[in-house]
Every structure is written in structure tokens, then in C-alpha cells.
Amino acid sequence: MAEYSLPDTFWHKVDVFTTLLLQYNQTHNISGAKTKEAVLKNVEDSVYPLKYLEINSIKNAIDIGTGAGFPGLLLALALPDVHFTLFEPIAKKSAFLHLAKTTLELKNVDIATNRVEKVTPFSVDLISSRAVTNTKMLVKLCKAFIAPTTTLLFYKGELVEEEIKGLSNCHIYQRDKRYYLVMKDVNAS
């Protein structure tokens, strides 16, 4: 397992992001994270699985259901050389992502106010998602984006074992109550 070093600017940008999210959240209620500590917990959860990925082989990524930015926006901060497209169909959450992108000057991020299954697919090396739906449904929703070389990184809860029955090439890493599901060469039938 390779240890990944976060960019020098990462924690400063996380600080700016945290302030922005907490302010925006007071009016628009887009995240359950209501304190700095809660936001930082989500940040750590978002970037923790980077140690399990082959970072050098990732150039293009999508995040499904980014919400307030977890994990997609944080992965984009952590991986400035990777281009991320964040899919968030809920307008007020998408508006926040646009604000965060502009404030943090993220040149490696596009935001799509759309559902992933409604857009024309393009080539991606990484697909991430947290708290969207069960694993098989998630694979089905994004199957047009999946190539044999695409890595899927899903942030799951305790039902992960049940959700992956019948799927192959699944690796589960656990940290506290979070399960990080990493899949490659997924049969998206």
C-alpha cells in the first residue's frame, strides 16, 4: 500500500472550504456537518482511501452525488493533476460546489447539475461516490463510464458485504464504521 502525500496547499484550502461550507450551510442546509470538527471528519473520510489507489494511473475522474463536496471536491483538492467532474443534481448543492470551485480556484473541476445516467459518457479512470445508493445500482447508473481499467471507489456502510455479493474484484478497507470499496475490472452488466 502506497502512502500518498497531500499537496502543500491542501489543509489551507480545506480551512477555506470549511468556513465557506459552514456559512452556506446556515442558510441552505446542504450538509449534516454543522461544526468545523464535523467537516474535518468528512474531509479525512474523503481523502483516507487515497492510499489504496494507484494515483499515477488516474487522469480523469467523476464523483456521483457530490452533495456538499464529499468526497469529490476534497479528492480534487488532494489530486490537483486529476480532472474531476462532480455530478450533483440538486441545484442548491450544485450552486455551493460552483462557489467552492471559484473560491478555491480549482481549475481541475467541472460541475454537472445533472444525474450521471443522463449525460453522454466519457472516458474516466476513477469513479467515486458516497452515500448515493447500493453498490449494484451505483454500478448500473455509471456503467457507461466504466472501462476495464476504471477504478471504482465507493464509500460504504456496514451492508457492504451484502451489497457486493455476485460482484468480483472487490477490495474492502475499513476505518472505524466506514468501509471503502475499491473495485476494478467490474462486470457492469
Query: In terms of DSSP H, where are the helices of the chain?
Result: 10-28, 36-47, 72-78, 91-103, 135-141, 160-163
Percent of the chain topping pLDDT 70: 97
Report the pLDDT value the prediction gives residue 34, as an integer from 0 to 100. Answer: 94
End-to-end CA distance of the chain: 30
Dihedral pair phi/psi, residue 158, rounded to 5° = -70, -10
**CA–CA separation, 186 and 105 (whole Å):** 34
Predicted confidence band at 5 (pLDDT cuts at 50, 70, 90)?
A: confident
Residue 3: pLDDT band with limits 50, 70, 90: low
Q: What is the pLDDT of residues 22-71, one digit of tens each?
A: 999 999 999 999 999 999 999 999 999 999 999 999 999 999 999 999 99
- Distance (Å, whole) CA 45 – CA 74: 10
Give the domain ranges of the chain. 10-184
For the domain with range 10-184, which CATH number is right: 3.40.630.30, 3.40.309.10, 3.40.50.150, 3.30.420.40? 3.40.50.150
pTM for the full predicted model: 0.94
pLDDT tens for each residue of 122-170: 999 999 999 888 999 999 999 999 999 999 999 999 999 999 998 888 9
How many whole angstroms separate alpha carbon 49 and alpha carbon 172? 10
Identify the pLDDT of residue 117.
92
Confidence at residue 188, expressed as pLDDT on a 0 to 100 scale: 47
**Rounded to the nearest 5°, which phi and psi values hold at 106?**
-85, 105
